[in-house]
Structure 1
Amino acid sequence: MAGPHALSSAFEPSSIAVIGASDTPGSVGRLIYRNLIEGGYRGTLYAVNPKYDSIQDQPCHRSIEDIGRPVDLAIIATPARVLHNVTAQCGRSGVRNAVIVSATGRTLERRIIETARETRLRLLGPGSLGIARPGSGLIAALTRIAVKPGEIALVSQSGAMCSVVLDWAQTNNVGFSSVISLGGTVDIDFGETLEYLIHDPQTRYILLYVDHIRDARHFMSALRSAARVKPIILLKAGRHGRSDNNAPAADSAGLADRVFDAAMRRAGVVRVQNIDQLFFATKALSCGFRPRQDSLAIVSNGSGPADLAADRAKDLGTALVSLGSPTVATLERLGGRERGCHNPLDLGGDASPQLFRDAILALAEDAAVSNVLVILSPHALVEPVEVAQEIIDLAAQVRLKLCCCWMGGGQVAEARALLEQAGLPVFSSPEAAIELFHNISRFHHSQNLLLQTAGGGGAGTYRRTGGARVLIETLLNQRRHTLSAMESKALLRSFGIPVTHTTVARDATEALFIAEQVGFPVAMKVDAPELDSKSEAGGVRLNLNSAESVWTAYQDIVDAVRLRHPQAQVNGVAIEPYLYRPRAREFNVQVHRDPTFGPVISLGAQDASAPRTFALPPLNPVLARDLIDSAMPAAAQGPRSQAGTLNRGAVEQVLVSVSDLVCELPWVRELEIGPLIVDADGAVAADARVAIDHGLPAGSDRYAHMAIHPYPLHLIQDWKVGDGRAVRTRPVRPEDAKLLLAFFDGLSKESRYLRFMEDLQELSPAMVARFTQIDYDREMALIATTPDDKGAEQMVGSARYALAADGESVEFALVVADAWQRFGLGRRLMGALIEVARSKGYRSIFGDVLGNNAKMLRLMHGLGFLVQPHPEESALRRVVKPLHGK
Structure 2
Amino acid sequence: MSTLNLHRLFNPKSVAVVGASEKKSSVGFSIMSNLLKNGFRGDIFPVNPNHTSVMGLPSFKNIEEIESDMDMAVIATPIQFVPPIVESCGKAGLAGAVIVSSGGKEIGKQGQAIEAKILEKAKKYNLRIVGPNCLGVVNTSKALNASFAHLSPLSGKIAFLSQSGAVCTSVLDLAHREKIGFSHFISLGSMVDVDFADMIDYLGSLSSVESIVMYMENITNIRNFMSAARAVSRIKPIIALKSGRSEAGARAAASHTGALAGEDAIYDAAFRRAGIIRVNEFEELLDCSEFLSKLGRPSVSGLTIITNAGGPGVMAADALASHGMEPVQLSSETIEKLDKILPENWSRANPIDILGDTAAEIYIEVAKICAKSEETDALLLLCSPAGTMDTFKLANDLTNFLKTLSCPIFTAWIGGDNVQQARQVLNQAGIVTYDSAERAVRAFKNFYQYGRNIETLLEIPVRTDKKLIINRSKAENIIKKAISNKVDSLTEIQAKNLLQSYGIPVNTTQLAESEATAVRLSEQIGYPVVLKICSRQILHKSDCDGVILNLKTAGEVKKAFAQIIEKAKEFAPKAVIEGVTVQAMQNPADYELIIGAKTDPNFGPVIVFGMGGVMTEVFRDTAIGLPPLNRLLARQMIEETKISKVIKGFRNFRPVSISLLEELLIRTGRLVTDFPQINALDINPLMVENGEITAVDARVIVCKPSVTSPGHLIISSYPWQYERKDYTVNGHEFFIRPLRPSDVDLLIEHFYSLSPKSIYMRFFSPVKQLSKTMLIKLTQIDYDREIALVALMGEGKDKKMVGVCRIILESDKTRGEFATAISDGWHGKGIGSSLLKQCLKAAQSRGVKHVVGFVLAENTQMLMLGRKLGFSLKRASNSGEYEITIDFENMHFD
Over 3 Å counting, the alpha-carbon distance change for 1:539 and 1:162 in structure 2 is same
**Matched position secondary structure for 1:511:** helix
Does the alignment pair 1:63 with 2:62?
yes
Tell me the CA shift for residue 391 of structure 1: 5.8
SS across alignment from 2:543 = coil
Distance 2:30 2:205 in 1: 30
| Aligned residue number for residue 825 of structure 2 | 819
The residue correspondences of 1:627-706 to structure 2 (distance < 5 A) are: 627-633=637-643, 643-679=653-689, 681-697=691-707, 702-706=709-713
2-structure distance, mates of 1:358, 1:418: 20
1:345 and 2:352 matched = yes
Moved more, 810-819 or 65-74: 65-74
Compared CA separation, residues 621 and 369, structure 1 to 2 (3 A): farther
Amino acid at match of 1:435: R
Equivalent-residue separation in structure 1 for 2:481 and 2:463 (angstroms): 25
Q: Decide whether the 8 Å contact of 1:395 with 1:401 is kept in 2.
A: no
Cα deviation code 1:773-819 (max 9, x no counterpart): 1212112221111116x743221111112232565322221111111
What is the correspondence of 1:796-807 to structure 2 with a 5 Å cutoff? 796-804=802-810
The aligned counterpart of 1:136 is: 142
Cα drift, residue 117 of structure 1: 3.3
Q: Which amino acid aligns with 2:446?
A: N
1:31 alignment partner in structure 2:
30
Further displaced range: 685-694 or 381-390: 381-390
Is 1:613 matched up with 2:612? no
Q: 1:452, 1:734 within 8 Å by CA — same for their partners in 2?
A: no
Equivalent of residue 762 in structure 2, options 755, 758, 771? 755
Note if 1:176 corresponds to 2:182: yes
Give the fraction of aligned pairs with identical amino acids, expressed as a percent: 32
Paired position in structure 1 for 2:6: 7
Structure 2 counterpart of 1:882? 887
Q: Paired residue for 2:108?
A: none
Q: Distance in 1 between matches of 2:542 and 2:3?
A: 61
Task: State the match for 1:543 in structure 2.
Answer: 550
- Give the deviation of 1:750 after TM superposition: 0.7
CA distances 1:144-202 after superposition (whole Å, capped 9, x unpaired) = 31233321111111111121222222333332221221110111111112221122232
**What's the CA shift for 1:291?**
4.0
Question: What SS is found at the alignment partner of 1:213?
Answer: coil
Structure 1: 5+ residue runs without aligned partners?
Answer: none
Q: Distance in 2 between matches of 1:417 and 1:510?
A: 82
* Matched-pair contact (CA < 8 Å) for 1:289–1:425: no
Corresponding residue number in structure 2 for 1:87: 86
How many pairs are equivalent?
A: 873
Q: State whether structure 2 residue 566 is matched by structure 1 residue 566.
A: no
Q: Which moved more, 1:561-570 or 1:7-16?
A: 7-16
* Deviation at residue 644 of structure 1 after TM alignment: 4.7
SS of equivalent residue, structure 1 residue 187: coil
Report the counterpart of residue 590 of structure 1 in structure 2: 596
Shift of residue 115, structure 1, vs aligned partner:
3.3
Partner residue of 2:40?
Answer: 41
Alignment pair present for 1:260 and 2:267: yes
CA–CA distance in structure 1, aligned partners of residues 380 and 586 of structure 2: 52
For residues 488-503 of structure 1, the aligned pairs below 5 Å read 488-503=495-510
What is the TM-score with the length of structure 1 in the denominator?
Answer: 0.91
* Gap change, CA 1:351 and 1:836, over 3 Å in 2: farther
Measure, in 2, the Cα distance between the counterparts of 1:793 and 1:545. Answer: 55
Q: Distance in 2 between matches of 1:477 and 1:794?
A: 45
CA RMSD of aligned residues (A): 3.2
Residue identity in the other structure for 1:652: E
Between 1:751-760 and 1:527-536, the stretch displaced more is 527-536
Which sits farther off after the overlay, 170-179 or 357-366?
Answer: 357-366
1:433 to 440, 448, 461: 440
User: In structure 2, what residue type is equivalent to 1:657?
Assistant: R
SS in 2 for 1:469: helix
**Are the counterparts in 2 of residues 614 and 627 from structure 1 also a CA contact under 8 Å?**
yes
Greater relative contact order (Cα < 8 A, sep 6+): 1
The structure-2 alpha-carbon separation of the partners of 1:455 and 1:161, relative to structure 1 and needing over 3 Å to count, comes to farther
How far apart in 2 are the matches of 1:884 and 1:459? 41
Q: What residue number does 1:735 align with?
A: 742
With over 3 angstroms needed to count, the CA separation of the structure-2 counterparts of 1:488 and 1:239, relative to structure 1, is same
Partner in structure 2 of residue 552 of structure 1:
559
Matches within 5 A, 1:108-257: 108-240=114-246, 255-257=262-264
**1:757: how far off?**
0.4
Conserved in 1, the CA contact under 8 Å of 2:179 and 2:430?
A: no
Query: Which amino acid in the other structure matches residue 622 of structure 1?
Result: L
Question: Do 2:623 and 2:641's aligned partners in 1 also have CA atoms closer than 8 Å?
Answer: yes
The answer to whether the 8 Å contact 2:610/2:643 transfers is no
Amino acid at match of 1:773: Q
Using the TM superposition, give the Cα deviation of residue 254 of structure 1 relative to its aligned residue in structure 2, in angstroms: 9.3
- Amino acid of the residue matched to residue 633 of structure 2? L
1:45, distance to aligned residue in structure 2 (A): 2.7
* Equivalent in 781, 790, 796 of residue 774 of structure 1: 781
| Aligned equivalent of 1:745, options 743, 752, 776 | 752
In structure 2, the CA distance between the partners of 1:451 and 1:483, relative to structure 1 (3 Å rule), is farther
Structure 1, residues 450-489: CA drift from partner, whole Å, max 9, x if none? 4379999986347644543344334333333211222212
- d(CA) in 2 for partners of 1:152 and 1:346? 35
Q: Is the 8 Å Cα contact of residues 145 and 152 (structure 2) preserved in structure 1?
A: no
- Once structures 1 and 2 are overlaid, which stretch shifts more, 596-605 or 752-761? 596-605
| Cα gap change, 1:593 to 1:802, in 2 (>3 Å) | same
User: Any idea what the Cα deviations from partners look like across 1:309-348, whole Å, max 9, x if unmatched?
Assistant: 2232233333344556666677667657755433433332
Aligned to 2:102: 103
Deviates more, 1:311-320 or 1:846-855: 311-320
Given that 1:74 and 1:98 are in contact with CA atoms closer than 8 Å, whether structure 2 keeps it comes out as yes
| In structure 1, distance between residues paired with 2:218 and 2:200 | 15
Contact 1:97 1:122 in 2 (8 A): yes
Give the superposition deviation at 1:630: 1.4
**283-292 or 651-660, which deviates more:** 283-292
Which residue type is aligned with residue 600 of structure 1? V
Counterparts of 1:627 and 1:288, CA distance in 2: 31
| Cα contact 1:385–1:412 (8 A) shared by 2 | yes
Distance 1:685 1:325, change over 3 A: farther
Q: Is contact 1:782-1:800 (8 Å) kept?
A: yes
C-alpha separation between the residues in 1 aligned to 2:508 and 2:481? Answer: 21
Residue 597 of structure 2: SS of its match in structure 1?
strand
Query: Over residues 354-407 of structure 1, what are the superposed CA-to-partner deviations in whole Å (9 max), with x where a residue is unaligned?
Result: 654565566568765533322121223224356557766775677754322122
Q: Match of 2:818, SS?
A: strand
Aligned to 2:801: 795
CA contact (8 A) 1:488 1:690 kept: yes
Are the counterparts in 2 of residues 290 and 401 from structure 1 also a CA contact under 8 Å?
Answer: no
Consecutive unaligned residues of structure 2, counting only runs of 5 or more, are 104-110
Aligned partner letter, 2:887? P
Counterpart Cα distance in 2 of 1:253 and 1:33: 51
CA contact under 8 A between 1:154 and 1:208: conserved in structure 2?
yes
Residue matched to 2:874: 868
Counterpart residue number, 2:527: 520
Corresponding position of 2:384: 377
Pick from 408, 412, 415 the counterpart of residue 415 of structure 2.
Answer: 408
**C-alpha distance 143-468 of structure 1, shift in aligned 2 (>3 A):** same
Q: Is the alpha carbon distance of 1:247 and 1:760 closer, same or farther for their aligned partners in structure 2, counting shifts above 3 Å? A: closer
**Cα contact 1:456–1:711 (8 A) shared by 2:** no
Is residue 351–residue 382 contact of structure 1 (8 Å, CA) maintained in 2?
yes
Separation of aligned partners in 2, 1:206 and 1:373? 24
Give the direction of change, closer, same or farther, for the CA distance of 1:242–1:47 in structure 2 (3 Å limit): farther
- CA, structure 1 residues 810+78, in 2 after alignment: closer, same or farther (shift >3 Å)? same
Per-residue deviation, 1:222: 1.1
